[in-house]
Amino acid sequence: MEKWFSRKNRREASSFQTNSTAATKSITKSLLQNPCLINSQSRAKQFHAQLLKCYSFPSSSSSILIIYCRLRLLHESFRAFSTIPSPSRSSWSSLISCSVASGLFPLSLSLFHRMRAFGFPPNRRLLPNVLKSCASLRNYKFGESLHACAISFGLDSDLYTTNALMNLYCKLGGWQKELNLFEEMPKTSSSMDSVRKLFHEMTERDVVSWNTVIGGNVEHGLYEEALSMVKEMTSAGLRPDSFTLSTVLPIFAEVVNAKKGKEIHCYSVRSGLDIEMFMGSSLIDMYAKCTMVEYSYRVMSRLANPDAVSWNSIIAASVQNGRFDEGFRFFREMLGLKLKPMAVTFSCLMPACAHLTSLHLGKQLHGYIIRGGFDGNVFVESALVDMYAKCGNICVARRIFDAMPSLDMVSWTAMIMGYALHGPAHEALCLFRRMEMENGKPNYVAFLAVLTACSHAKLVDDAKNFFDSMTKDYGITPCLEHYAAVADALGRAGKLEEAYEFISKMHIKPTAAVWSILLGACSVHKNAKLAEKAAKKIFELEPMDPGPHLILSNIYSAAGKWKDAAEIRTIMRRKGLKKQPACSWIEIKNKVHGFVAHDTSHPCYFKIIEAWEALKDQIRREGYVPNTDDVLHDIEEEQKIANLCGHSERLALVFGIISTPPGTTIRLTKNIRVCVDCHTAIKFISKVVGREIIVRDLNRFHHFKDNRCSCDDFW
DNA sequence: TTAGGGTTAG
């Protein structure tokens, strides 16, 4: 019988379709010799029951243990293991491998200790597994002791063990780097030296050995070395596989080199590796990081069965490239395929809500997050903090931040930037100092956040101190944005000459955006002379931008220099420059309503005008005097402002007031800065309608309440 | 024994 099914049909045998005890015994005996035939949980359990019927259990328990371990049924494996009176090294080894495969790394290490206490030496099958646990747990000390153990048992020349040792050193190098928060690690860190030494001493190397060292180099930022190793590997007669390619593709994503990335893509097509799942998501990510998201979409469309990572990659690719609608479309498609979203899915998608200022969408995703139990994930929670802050709900952002079990640099920065945008600068500064104490070395984004807070609050001395500390204490070279924030602080504080000096002495060439900060400050502080100097620099760098032309023209008008203002307008006409339309939007009953300046297309336009007329009378009685300084050049527009409510933020605001119940907080967004007159008008409106009004503009949030604004000294 | 996707800014 045994010979019969071995020869004829092994699969049939594993279904136990016989009632004969003798036959059952025979089949069972053969299955014990071929445990790979039992390939499902139910089959394993069925077999286990047969085994108990036919044999005295202890003698066969090692075999069922192997079957359960192979199927990664940890609970059943432990039960089987506990019935073995004297487990062999092989039984220990199976259980340890099963724990590692199940991701229970601490358990695997404790089992290894217990096995060693019984006097069993490690073998070439076991050690790579234990080394993997060490790498995952970042247990450097134990990893080193395992290396010594490998040497003492003569396993240091074993290919699998050496590959695992190299992997351990590659991973632990990164961890040591994290520990040395205040010290810059040398480019070729000691961990990579150990890896190189091991690699060079190897008598036999396989593709895994090469891939491991290439991956280590990539992890340590040694991109040139990684790429030259790929060439060396080919010269040594080994063909790069999908592991090699998906290891090096992130290099081209990082350095934004789509040309080289495409070469890898072509190679993968020629080698038939492009259909591999890991390759697909690496390619999607590489193209997205190189801002070639259309290629990401093409790669995705060619994947036969995209897995969860592919979906997350394409969602991330869309959101990172500002394709928010596509991001949500892929998310819905993913849900439609009954694929469960993961923590990564939400941390990819949440920034779309923040960018769209869509509190409604953000809250919906927050609901998913809570139901899915992802609210303990630091990436997801940081994205939530950022979303609530960007959507105008700084209090909820803070509540989530305070409840976070662990904080990383990004969570601190998101919260600090939230305060920087909303106004309470002292909160931002306070958090930054707490972060320095609790989290260690701030990065350049964290400095940008705290400098933004200083600039909005005109804290010139603090801005200068943080700026100096960045280089002096943390060795971070300031970039354009840091300079811009300090220049902004000086400009807002009216220290225009100092701002000009500061920009002129920058160690990198100031861009038009930096000079525009000074021009904006000159406009506020009515300094036409310096404005001319700043505008000249801008016109050299970006001659076709209408914005600076308009600002300079307005500065001239305000100073009574009508001839100069007219000349600028003539230049604009000659260059064909037109004012970019301002746009504001507001979310009412889960629908976004957009308004451009002088927009008459909204179905409620006449209701809006009627309501504005009534409001205008009320705020005038409260003391509002229209200020049209910034539109003197445009008579037609001035008339519109006087007679209607031409500015987009006013249209959106009045629509919000007439569409929501009294007392409701109104949140709206504008694509450029709120104009001076609207800012004043909204303050009065907040009082007469008794509402809190939150306006997000290009630079920051404005909280209006009872005729006051959070940035009252802003202008 | 090796590989892919994530949050802050721009």
Residue closest to B3 C1′ by Cα = A243
Closest-lying nucleotide for A409 based on CA to C1':
B8
Q: Residue A669 belongs to what H/E stretch?
A: strand A666-670
Distance CA A246 to C1' B3 in A: 5
Distance CA A323 to C1' B8 in A: 19
**pLDDT at A52 (0 to 100):** 73
**pLDDT at A56 (0 to 100):** 60
In the sheet with A591-596, reading across from the earlier edge strand, the strands are: A591-596, A583-588, A666-670, A693-696, A701-705, A708-709
Asked if residue A14 has pLDDT above 70, the reply is no
Tokens matching residue A297 = 């979409």
Residue A503 pLDDT level (bands cut at 50, 70, 90) = very high
Asked if residue A651 has pLDDT above 70, the reply is yes
Closest-lying nucleotide for A411 based on CA to C1':
B8
pLDDT digits (tens, 9 = 90+) for A363-391: 999 999 999 999 999 999 999 999 999 99
Asked if residue A184 has pLDDT above 50, the reply is no
Residue closest to B6 C1′ by Cα = A344
Closest-lying nucleotide for A315 based on CA to C1':
B5
**pLDDT at A698 (0 to 100):** 86
Distance CA A142 to C1' B8 in A: 35
> DSSP characters for A179-201?
H-TTSPPPSS-HHHHHHHHHHHH
Rounded to whole angstroms, how far apart are CA atoms A344 and A202? 38
Mean pLDDT, chain A, integer: 88
**pLDDT at A628 (0 to 100):** 58
Distance CA A670 to C1' B4 in A: 38
Residue closest to B9 C1′ by Cα = A445
Distance CA A310 to C1' B6 in A: 13
- Please tell me the total number of residues recorded for chain A in this structure: 715
Residue, of A604 and A173, whose pLDDT is higher: A604
Rounded to whole angstroms, how far apart are CA atoms A280 and A288? 12
Lowest mean pLDDT among A323-327, A531-535, A644-648: A644-648
Residue closest to B5 C1′ by Cα = A313
Closest-lying nucleotide for A131 based on CA to C1':
B1
**pLDDT at A671 (0 to 100):** 87
Residue A22 pLDDT level (bands cut at 50, 70, 90) = low
Distance CA A451 to C1' B9 in A: 12
Residue A31 pLDDT level (bands cut at 50, 70, 90) = low
Distance CA A486 to C1' B9 in A: 16
Q: Residue A353 belongs to what H/E stretch?
A: helix A343-356
Distance CA A328 to C1' B10 in A: 23
Closest-lying nucleotide for A244 based on CA to C1':
B3
Residue closest to B10 C1′ by Cα = A481
**pLDDT at A642 (0 to 100):** 43
Nearest to A281 by CA among A320, A307, A248: A307
Give residue for tokens 């062999």: A88
Strands A666-670 and A693-696 turn out to be parallel
Asked if residue A41 has pLDDT above 80, the reply is no
Distance CA A485 to C1' B9 in A: 12
Closest-lying nucleotide for A413 based on CA to C1':
B8
Rounded to whole angstroms, how far apart are CA atoms A418 and A580? 28
> DSSP characters for A673-709?
PPPHHHHHHHHHHHHHTT--EEEE-SS-EEEEETTEE
pLDDT digits (tens, 9 = 90+) for A86-101: 899 989 999 999 999 8
Residue A27 pLDDT level (bands cut at 50, 70, 90) = low
Q: Residue A429 belongs to what H/E stretch?
A: helix A425-438
DSSP state, residue A583: E
Mean pLDDT of A116-138: 92
Closest-lying nucleotide for A387 based on CA to C1':
B7
Closest-lying nucleotide for A282 based on CA to C1':
B4
Distance CA A417 to C1' B7 in A: 13
Nearest to A127 by CA among A89, A76, A81: A89
Strand B nucleotides, any atom under 7 Å from protein beta carbons: they are 1-10
Nearest to A384 by CA among A371, A366, A399: A366
Closest-lying nucleotide for A278 based on CA to C1':
B4
Locate the DSSP E strands across A119-259. Answer: none
Among the ranges A8-12, A248-252, A556-560, A675-679, which has the highest mean pLDDT value? A248-252
**pLDDT at A252 (0 to 100):** 96
Rounded to whole angstroms, how far apart are CA atoms A405 and A170? 29
pLDDT digits (tens, 9 = 90+) for A432-487: 999 999 988 999 999 999 999 999 999 999 999 999 999 999 999 999 999 999 99
Half-sphere exposure of A434 (CA within 13 A, CB side): 14
Are A226 and A214 spatial neighbours (Cβ–Cβ below 8 Å)?
yes
Residue A635 pLDDT level (bands cut at 50, 70, 90) = very low
Rounded to whole angstroms, how far apart are CA atoms A439 and A436? 6
Mean pLDDT of A595-605: 86
Distance CA A322 to C1' B10 in A: 12
pLDDT digits (tens, 9 = 90+) for A129-147: 999 999 999 888 899 899 9
Lowest mean pLDDT among A28-32, A377-381, A414-418: A28-32
Distance CA A160 to C1' B1 in A: 5
Rounded to whole angstroms, how far apart are CA atoms A199 and A343? 37
Residue A643 pLDDT level (bands cut at 50, 70, 90) = very low
Distance CA A406 to C1' B9 in A: 22
Closest-lying nucleotide for A166 based on CA to C1':
B1
- Give me the percent of chain A exceeding a pLDDT of 70: 89
Q: What value, to the nearest 5°, has the Cα angle with vertex A273 and ends A342 and A291?
A: 60
Are A382 and A412 spatial neighbours (Cβ–Cβ below 8 Å)?
no
Residue A626 pLDDT level (bands cut at 50, 70, 90) = confident
**pLDDT at A683 (0 to 100):** 93
Asked if residue A315 has pLDDT above 90, the reply is yes
